[in-house]
Every structure is written in C-alpha cells, then in structure tokens.
Structure 1
Amino acid sequence: MADSATTRTLNVGVIGYGLSATIFHIPFITITPTLRLHSILQRNPSESKQSAPRDHPNIKHFTSLDQFLADADLDLVVITTPPQTHFPFAQQALQAGKHIFVEKPFVPSVAEAETLISIAKAKGRLICVYQNRRWDSDFLTVQKLLADGKTLGRIVEFETHFDRFRLQKPVNWKASLGMDQGGSALYDLGTHLIDQVYVLFGMPRGVFATFANQLDGVLSGPQQPDLTPDSITVQLFYDNGLVVFVRSAVASAEVHQPRFRIRGTKGSYRKTGLDSQEPQLKSGMKTSDASFGREAPEWNGWLTTVDDNGNLHEQECPNVEPETYRKIYALFGEALIRNSEEDVPVPASQARDVLRIIEAAKESAKTRRQIDLS
C-alpha cells in the first residue's frame, strides 16, 4: 500500500462521479498533502456528461466495484453515491481492507451504522463521515461564541435553519428516494443541522418533530406514516432547559434566509444567509482563491449583549477566519497516516448518534408524540 514511511501518502479511490465527487471531494483530495487521487469508479462514463476518464486521464478508472476494490494499491475509498448505496459499498470496501470516507447521510439506519463500525474494528480500518458543514464559517463563529460561556451566558434557545425557496420538485434520485433509503429533507439538509447541534450540545433528552410536504400541503402523522418530507421542524430538549429548533423548508421566500438565532442569559446572536463555500465551488472558484470561504460584510451576524446595568448593546459580528472544507480532509489524512481512530474528525460513532436523533424524529413525526432518548 502507499502509506509507507517514505511517501507518507495514501492512494484514494472515489466511487461515483456526480456533483458530490466533482465539487466536494476531488478538489480537496488533490490539495491534501497526505492523499493522492488514485482511481475513480464510474459505472457508465461514456453515457455521462461528466466523464471521469476524460477529466482525469492520468489516474486509474474502473466500471466494476469488484475490480476497483481488488486494486492492492488502493488505501482509502470515498463513497459519493446516493444514500441507499452507502451501506453495501461501505461494507464491501471495509471487507476488502480499505479505509472509507462516506458522504452524508452516513447510512439510513443506526443498525447499519453499528454493523459498519463492527466491521471496521475487526479489520483495523477507519471510517470518517463527510459532515463538511462543521467547517462552515458561520458555524465556527457560533462555536467560538459558545465556547467562552461569557458572551451569551447560558444558552436557553438555539434555532438553526436551512431554508430555501424552491417550488419545483427535484428530478434526480432525490425525487423518489424514501426515508427508509436515506432520502428526504431529514436525511439531506437535516443531517447537517442535527450534526451541528450534536457537536455543540451532545445528545438531547427528548425529540419532537413535525414533517411536511410544503409543495403538496401534507403534514406527517398517523394518517401519513410513510410521508417523505421536503420540510422539517425538529425540537430537541436538554436536561439544562435548553430547547433547540431545527428547521428546513422549501417554501421560504426570503431575501435574507434565517440561519442561526441564539438566545442566552447574557445576550443573543442572529445570522442570515448560508455559508459561501458551496456556491463558490459550484461557480468554479478554486480552493486556493483568497476569497474562498469568505462572506461579504452584508451577511455579517449581529450580536446583542447585556451590560451590568441591564442595557442592551448591538454590534455586527463578522465570521471568524475561515478554515474551509479543506480542514476535514487534512484532519482525516493525518488520522489515516497515524492510523488513529481518536483523530478521525467525524467518526462513525458520532454519525450513529446523529442517526439515533433522526430515528427518534421519524418516530415522533409518525406518532405525534415526544420521544425520550435519555
């Protein structure tokens, strides 16, 4: 394998060659010193507008998973295909002795996550889940505000949004994939939001959720047990009295879409607009560009604090210096070189915990009752 003491690099193979691979993974693999793009598995490159052999002529290309995994030089497999394929591909890659990096959502169920964790442990391989939005600049700013415990005081309410105005239904695989296969707004954008809450506050005590198809005007409940939502509202309750609201909607006609609203005993913070990295990458901006990951001042957050006399003071709160999505690959590359599970930036065990919250939300939306996780 390529992780020798002399080269200190790992050979990376990517399964899939769609938006995820071309925008969110390959650009970062190619700039990570510990990694080398080695191969791509694309089932039908000749039938695709995006042809991996054409775009990357100097690496290996495969159309068969068995042949791809049989390559002894392959160290790390990056799975960028739709969610229902994650478990079988990950399972086969681990059994072939490869480390794996899996797009979110990790897998559709806690049971599947547990199975992959067990296989990885038995094989001595590492799993990382691509929760890249832990490196959104606005989220890093929130982390900093909460870390000192002084600026906002004890947090009593935390609201996180991923809202859009999209009245057209998707036409790709997202249009037909049910929640049992890792589809819906809950597993797509909801996974990002719940993962960020988990990073900040850990596992909640209870979960209450409402799902909706805003485009069809349908709510979840006992009469709609198999609803695949395009919009979600999830409440998470913590023992210290904190209440978290996780919201994603498709019928939100806002110029400045809400992102964060945080209320504490000493102040509050509000932020609109989404992190800039995804649109920048889609527009063709290079990760080396000085503007990458930076937002215009008009999207600055606002911080309100309370002085000793009870007076309120409001000020702009720009994002912290961006670390960008380069960080998740850099950290995982270093963890792989050291073969250190403790250093994996988003371990499978954390993704499994997020799936526990997701499964509780699904049960709550179906039964219209709060689910206890304590």
Structure 2
Amino acid sequence: MASKTHNVGVIGYGMSAKVFHIPLIQVTPSFNLHSIVQRSSKPDDDASKDHPSVKIYRSADEMFADKSIDIIAITTTPDTHFPFTKSALESGKHVIVEKPFVPTSSEAQQLIDVSSKTGKLICVYQNRRWDTDFLTVQQLIKEGKLGSVVEFETHFDRYKPERPPTWKGNLSMDHAGGVIYDLGTHLIDQAYVLFGMPQSVVAVFTNQRGDGAPEPDSMTVLLKYGHGRPLVTAKAGVLSIETEQLRYWVRGSKGSFKKYHLDVQEDQLKAGLKPGDKGFGIESDDMSGNLVVLDGGKAVRTKHKNLTPLTYASLYDGFRKAIEGGGEAAVPVKASDARDVLKIIEAAKESAQSGRAINL
C-alpha cells in the first residue's frame, strides 16, 4: 500500500525557509509542500511566483486552521517559536521548528507537555548534527581512534566586522538572540550529542567589534565534565582573519584530529543544489582533516577524509519515519534535547554575567 502523503506548511519565507527547509521538504518521500505563510511579498521576493502550485497564506492563524495540513515547519524569528509551536500542536499538526527552539528551557518543557497531551510530535532543526565532518568526528571517537578524549574544541569563527541588524546580533535576557543562541546553539548541541550534560559551565561573552553596542558578539564557553572526562570549548568569534578557519580540534590519549573549514552543505543549498544531486555534501580532498596518532612512540600525521555524507535530508527523513509510526523515540532531534541545550545556554549566560562557574 502506498504511504500517505503528508502536507507540509511553512511559516516564514526568509533564508531559513528558502535554503534549509523547502529544498529538504521537496526531497523527502511522502512530504508535499502544501502552503507557505508570507505576510507580505515584494516583486523580487514572492512565494507565489517561486511556488505557483502552493497555497499562500498571509497569517499563521490561517495555516493553523487548515485541516488538510499535517506538519508545520516554523522558520520565523525565535521570539515567535513558542506561540507558533503551541498553536500548531493544539491545531493537530506535527511541528519542525528552527533552532534556537525557544527562548527558555521552561518554555521548552511547556511545549513538551503540550506535545504529550496532543499526541503530536516536535522536531528541532539542529541540522549541524548532520555536518559530515561532525559525523566523521563522532566515528573517530566511537571507534577509539583517538583513545580517551581529553579536550574537544568546536569553533564557528568568522570575519564579519558588521553586526547583523537582526536577532542574531542582539543578545537579550528575555529573547533568544545573539551569538549564544545563533551559533552557540549549534556548537553546544554537538557537544551535548557527544558527551551529554556537563557538570558545570564557564562562559565569557565579549564585543570583539568594539562598535559601542552593549550586546556581545563573540563567546567562549567551557563545559566541564569532571575528572577523566573531556573539557569542551565552544567558541565563536567575529574578527577571525584566516585563510582556513578552525572547525574542530579533538585531543585524546591515542591521537588528535584537527579539521578546518565549514561543512559545504549550506553553501551548496544556497547555490540551488539539493540532497541527491551529484557531489552534494562532498568536500574537496584538500579540505580533509588531519589525524595524528602514535606509531612506535612517534606522532604521525595523515589526511583523514570525511565519511560519505548523510546530508541534512536525514533530519527530515527521520522526522517522516517518526510520524509514520516510529513515534517520539524516532524523532531525530527531540524537544527534550533542545531543552537540555537551553539549560546549558542559560548557565552560560549566568556565568558570563556573574563571572563564576555555574553548576548543572
């Protein structure tokens, strides 16, 4: 018997929708791009022209009321995620919501409770769990190639001297904005996937641009896991002038792995490629990481290529499988995971303000 077609509605028509969600919806078996909420269009930014067969709504409430929609993808700014997710669940829709999930861990728990009550699933779009170099790091650790990991650094450094005039450039204690929620969510989520909840958090936020703004634009967050466990550094800077930006540096008792460059999938999606296209997710050999291991007591370095890409489509396909019978256990990025990451972020904010370590 043919599987059911799941109608998907997308709230928002910015870069997130155009680059990270709509292309993945279009390649997910049994998912149908049904409708888009675009509050106002422009001649050069019109969802109805880009997707002439799709319904266009001018408000989220119209989409919530459409009983033919099975899933809603929320791609709007973080301050809208809580009310939109709650309304979508209560209107009988499954939800996939952009990161950061919601501003606070308490709001995350409220939505987890609503999900349980309604029987509708939530998946958080932490796509960088499917960065091919991150999956390669996971495999190296799992296979014991590095021995016992003692330090793990994950970086998202860039040269961006101009502050973005959006939520990404504005850290507020009441809203999910600024570097810790933008890039930090990815970095901390990856550490959480590898090592779980830390024992304590130490964070420093700073304004590297020196632009006079009170909000920080850069961060260094240390996650402490205790004796015999790794020390994790999550770092994002905006004035990093490099020909090759460091992405990972993992050190263990048997070896180390250092990787430069960012995963290629985002740039490929921006260029119009999709998962399944030839070469999607595959980086050039010169971008491969450096693996150093002991051989006869001597450190020997070799190039270590990435795994075969699973691609960001795996997140959407995993959510499809959860909806089609796998249930909460099969959701690829659970709301409870995002809640825990928010607890780490909240501890980092408290540490940066107080200047002390925050125990979890």
Q: What interval of TM-score do these two structures reach, taking the shorter chain for normalisation? A: over 0.9
**Which residue is equivalent to 1:8?**
4
Give the match's secondary structure for 2:174: helix
**How many angstroms does 1:363 deviate by?**
0.4
Give the match's secondary structure for 1:269: strand
CA contact (8 A) 2:171 2:179 kept: no
Which residues of 2 match residues 116-131 of structure 1 at below 5 A? Answer: 116-131=111-126
> Aligned partner of 1:144: which letter?
Q
> Aligned partner of 2:75: which letter?
T
Q: Identity percentage over the alignment? A: 52
CA contact (8 A) 1:40 1:62 kept: yes
CA contact (8 A) 1:14 1:39 kept: yes
Aligned: 1:244 with 2:232: yes
**Which residue is equivalent to 1:233?**
220
Which residues of 2 match residues 211-222 of structure 1 at below 5 A? Answer: 211-216=205-210
Which residues of 2 match residues 49-88 of structure 1 at below 5 A? Answer: 49-88=44-83
Which residues of 2 match residues 1-374 of structure 1 at below 5 A? Answer: 6-45=2-41, 47=42, 49-149=44-144, 151-176=145-170, 178-216=172-210, 228-239=215-226, 240-307=228-295, 309-338=296-325, 340-373=327-360
Find the aligned partners of 1:7 and 1:337 in 2 and give their Cα distance.
9
Over 3 Å counting, the alpha-carbon distance change for 1:96 and 1:257 in structure 2 is same
Find the aligned partners of 1:358 and 1:227 in 2 and give their Cα distance.
19
**How many angstroms does 1:186 deviate by?**
0.3
> Aligned partner of 1:195: which letter?
D
Find the aligned partners of 2:66 and 2:118 in 1 and give their Cα distance.
17
Give the match's secondary structure for 1:181: coil
> Aligned partner of 1:22: which letter?
K
Over 3 Å counting, the alpha-carbon distance change for 1:234 and 1:44 in structure 2 is same
CA contact (8 A) 2:170 2:215 kept: no
| 5+ long unaligned stretches in structure 1 | 219-225
CA contact (8 A) 2:89 2:114 kept: yes
**Which residue is equivalent to 1:223?**
none
Find the aligned partners of 1:205 and 1:286 in 2 and give their Cα distance.
40
Give the match's secondary structure for 1:288: coil
> Aligned partner of 1:41: which letter?
V
Shifted more, 208-217 versus 108-117: the winner is 208-217
**How many angstroms does 1:236 deviate by?**
0.4
**Which residue is equivalent to 1:221?**
none
- What whole-Å deviation, never above 9, does each CA across 1:113-164 have from its counterpart, x for those lacking one? 0110000100001000000000001001000000112x11000011110000
Over 3 Å counting, the alpha-carbon distance change for 1:173 and 1:263 in structure 2 is closer
* Number of residue-to-residue matches in the alignment: 359
Find the aligned partners of 1:330 and 1:6 in 2 and give their Cα distance.
17
CA contact (8 A) 2:259 2:290 kept: yes
Give the match's secondary structure for 2:232: strand
> Aligned partner of 2:199: which letter?
R
Find the aligned partners of 2:344 and 2:73 in 1 and give their Cα distance.
25
- What whole-Å deviation, never above 9, does each CA across 1:284-343 have from its counterpart, x for those lacking one? 223332111111111110001113x31211100111111111110111111111151000
- What whole-Å deviation, never above 9, does each CA across 1:204-261 have from its counterpart, x for those lacking one? 011000001111278xxxxxxx953211000001123320100000000001000100
Find the aligned partners of 2:136 and 2:201 in 1 and give their Cα distance.
26
Find the aligned partners of 2:237 and 2:169 in 1 and give their Cα distance.
16
Runs of 4+ in 1 over 6 A off after TM superposition: none
> Aligned partner of 2:130: which letter?
W
Give the match's secondary structure for 1:30: helix
